[in-house]
Structure 1
């Protein structure tokens, strides 16, 4: 029987609508998952209209649920295991994904909280790792109230860094000091000392200013571009003491890093913050809130009313 999913539909204004897809069948190295919760990202909204995901195909990258069928080759989690996944096509009632795309959810972590981890948590974890975060380094996180930003603040603080969280308004900074930020600033104008690492999620003029704040030898990780504005560098902005701008993209086969994030969550060291939660029937409401920057943390769908 068909499976309900949120698919790319170019006939509607948002390019996202409910539809039916063929019920997935797990291959030898795949597990079949009953999806209970899924998390919405800017990437999903972009994928709906960019052509990366074809018309009629399911959207989504982040989900959590229960394994219905283990992999035929004996790898991966067994049937009945609670898992989180990071893979294309996550916004469907059932999905078949490679075992390298899933991690078992430990006790103490809820399914909805686990669903909020993959895309944003992986971006924060991997970008900080790439930038060689370490004790004493000054780390600037832009868009710190969003999904990636809140995780980056927490993970940088766990690594012993001095963390500066930049937000768009004072209310957007709520909770960031408790998450580990040493400073919470509105915009970037009040930052006086250079920083060693930038986790940059806004793009546009924010990226240019953040680049100017980098100390010699510093690294800017360009993780997102939620402003949708161009970044125009003044003459000679990239001429001077060496520093680097690194473009970032999440790679799949993330089981090990997902397991690390889940373990930190189980220990209480990393807190998934859900700023919007509701039925996936309300996906348009969640998408509008995300575009309008009215979600502090993550937006999570419940696919089943009893879940």
Structure 2
């Protein structure tokens, strides 16, 4: 049986290409998922060219689909279960995933929406937790119209924070108030100090966000979509204690994924889909993401059309 996939290829115009890959060989603690939908992230675009993945390695992390082989050790969802997962090499028709990084998706949540949860949802959830209680605090979310940003706005608002959503243009700010933002701003000029920053842009904006932190505040760096360096002026790190923390999703994520699914099912977490199409349209999807034309998540539908 063929297993089509999108693999890294730095020399390709899109930096990834279709390929035939081997069927998964799961360990006893892995399930095999037939992937129906996958989410394209900025991290996938970076993985395709950064050298973190070798040319020919399968890209992708966010997937939703159906379990076609249950874990041999009895862990994880049963055969036939609808699931969402954080995968290694997720852009393939069939993928083996650790059973503790999979969550069941109830019938009343579309798998298209579930596919948008893992990378961005986990980053938003875990960085907010790392920043401590948000109740009554001022939380700044940069890149607020993107995947992590839209989740961070909603989760911070639900936790009782005063949420400031920073975007690059008025157009990109549309709908963020409805998601829970108390303020929607273009740029950071004129803002009062904040207690927590969920930062995904990098570059000069991150430098400016650092200067806005109140004593005891924390900046959680979850991305760097600008691709620009961040340069701190002299003595910017001298003074009242505040912190900058890097972020990477590590360890089992099944429980946190289940929490995100539960919030989505309850209507307390909205997955904004800004682009959706067949994975044969990967060139269009990557261009839209690179050009910052996607407000929310970019979702690929995995079919047999990839050639």
| Partner Cα separation in structure 2 for residue 226 and residue 128 of structure 1 | 19
Structure 2 SS opposite 1:2: coil
Q: Residue 88 of structure 1: CA displacement?
A: 1.1
| Partner Cα separation in structure 2 for residue 3 and residue 133 of structure 1 | 45
The alignment's TM-score, normalised by the length of structure 2, stands at: 0.97
| Partner Cα separation in structure 2 for residue 229 and residue 292 of structure 1 | 15
Residue aligning to 1:289: 288
Point out the more displaced range, 248-257 or 117-126.
248-257
Alignment of structure 1 residues 185-224 onto 2, 5 Å: 185-191=185-191, 193-224=192-223
Q: Residue 243 of structure 1: CA displacement?
A: 0.5
8 Å Cα contact 1:274-1:299 kept in structure 2: yes
8 Å Cα contact 1:86-1:252 kept in structure 2: no
Residue aligning to 2:166: 166
Alignment of structure 1 residues 66-85 onto 2, 5 Å: 66-85=66-85
| Partner Cα separation in structure 2 for residue 274 and residue 305 of structure 1 | 22
Q: Please identify runs of 4+ aligned residues in structure 1 that moved more than 2 A.
A: none
Name the CA shift for 1:20/1:282 in 2 (closer, same or farther; >3 Å).
same
Q: Please, what is the CA RMSD of the aligned residues? A: 1.2
8 Å Cα contact 1:37-1:301 kept in structure 2: yes
Q: Residue 166 of structure 1: CA displacement?
A: 0.3
8 Å Cα contact 2:61-2:87 kept in structure 1: yes
Point out the more displaced range, 80-89 or 12-21.
12-21
Q: Residue 164 of structure 1: CA displacement?
A: 0.2
Paired residues in the alignment total: 305
| Partner Cα separation in structure 2 for residue 283 and residue 13 of structure 1 | 11
Q: Residue 107 of structure 1: CA displacement?
A: 3.2
Residue aligning to 1:156: 156
Structure 1 SS opposite 2:223: coil
Residue aligning to 1:276: 275
8 Å Cα contact 1:141-1:153 kept in structure 2: yes
| Partner Cα separation in structure 2 for residue 126 and residue 253 of structure 1 | 13
Point out the more displaced range, 47-56 or 29-38.
47-56
Residue aligning to 2:178: 178
Name the CA shift for 1:277/1:252 in 2 (closer, same or farther; >3 Å).
farther
| Partner Cα separation in structure 1 for residue 175 and residue 190 of structure 2 | 20
Query: Which consecutive residues of structure 2, in runs of 5 or more, have no partner in the other structure?
Result: none
Residue aligning to 1:128: 128
Structure 2 SS opposite 1:106: coil
The alignment's TM-score, normalised by the length of structure 1, stands at: 0.97
Structure 2 SS opposite 1:35: strand
8 Å Cα contact 1:107-1:266 kept in structure 2: no
Residue aligning to 2:249: 250
Point out the more displaced range, 126-135 or 36-45.
126-135
* CA displacement, residues 155-214 of structure 1 (integer Å, 9 cap, x when unaligned): 0000000000000000100110000000000010131x1100000010010001000000
Structure 1 SS opposite 2:77: coil
